[in-house]
Amino acid sequence: MATFFAVLTLALLAPACTYALRDPGVTAGCGPLRYTVTEHDVGLTGDRRAAIDDAVAEFAALVGRTVESLDDSGQVASGNAPGDPVVFEFAWPDEQPAGLGFAEPHVVASSYAGGWVMLNPSLRNAPTGVIRRLVLHELGHLHGLEHVDDPGELMDPSLAAEQWGPGDLFGLYVTHDGGCPGATLVPAFQDAIG
Ligand SMILES: [Zn+2]
């Protein structure tokens, strides 16, 4: 019953939330969130590398998925199949100096599968909090969210929000069909709306 009311609250409040779906109707699966990080010669400090792993784990717990970190050393190619890993790669075009991250979602049979995240090597000097927010933001893109113009949401490109906003959470609720088993989207949404 508590869940019913939580969902009802969500449904009533959601129209006021700021979120944008990349492709309505496309959803994300509930299998392990597999990922790999290719640093090339960036040489991340341990705390910055941990910030990536922690953010992936944070995202997975939110939507109710487990995490599987793959070997960093291989050049893992994210193909186009369900269960493919998310590939984080430190690589950046010279003509885009200002950006920090870019995400390329992969869709297979109306489902988000793996995907690729390009990270700016300048993040080697970034605060761990920026890395955390950026990784969460890019995972939002890979799982169906587009940018919004609302600094209270992590999908605002300013990355000003410390936590997911209500629109982010409702958007992820939609793209995950209400969340995988164990997802904390509903209580997080209730916290976000205060
Ligand atoms: Zn973005």
**Average of pLDDT values for 45-62?**
98
Whole-angstrom distance, CA of residue 77 vs CA of residue 20:
28
Select from 146, 192, 130 the least CA-distant residue to 19: 146
**Average of pLDDT values for 37-47?**
94
**Average of pLDDT values for 147-173?**
96
CB under 8 Å to 98, separation ≥6 — which residues? none
Select from 22, 28, 20 the least CA-distant residue to 180: 28
What pLDDT is attached to residue 78? 56
What is the CA(161)–ligand 1 centre distance, in A?
13
Alpha helices by DSSP H, 74-163:
128-142
Name the pTM for this structure. 0.91
What is the CA(135)–ligand 1 centre distance, in A?
10
**Average of pLDDT values for 98-126?**
92
> Considering only 86-95, 132-141, 147-156, which range has the smallest mean pLDDT?
86-95
Comparing 51 with 95, which gets the higher pLDDT?
51
What is the CA(64)–ligand 1 centre distance, in A?
22
What is the CA(171)–ligand 1 centre distance, in A?
15
The dihedrals phi and psi of 75, each to the nearest 5 degrees, come to -90, 80
Provide, rounded to the nearest whole percent, the portion of the chain with pLDDT above 90.
75
pLDDT-derived band at 21 (thresholds 50, 70, 90) equals very high
What is the CA(25)–ligand 1 centre distance, in A?
20
Comparing 5 with 59, which gets the higher pLDDT?
59
What is the CA(131)–ligand 1 centre distance, in A?
13
What is the CA(82)–ligand 1 centre distance, in A?
23
What is the CA(116)–ligand 1 centre distance, in A?
13
CB atoms within 10 A of CB 12: 9
What is the CA(154)–ligand 1 centre distance, in A?
9
What is the CA(138)–ligand 1 centre distance, in A?
6
What is the CA(102)–ligand 1 centre distance, in A?
6
Question: Where do the domains of the chain lie, and which CATH numbers do they carry?
Answer: 24-193 (3.40.390.10)
What is the CA(146)–ligand 1 centre distance, in A?
7
What pLDDT is attached to residue 1? 44
What is the CA(1)–ligand 1 centre distance, in A?
37
Comparing 155 with 74, which gets the higher pLDDT?
155
What is the CA(36)–ligand 1 centre distance, in A?
20
Tokens of 185: 């989207």
Say which amino acid occupies 171. G
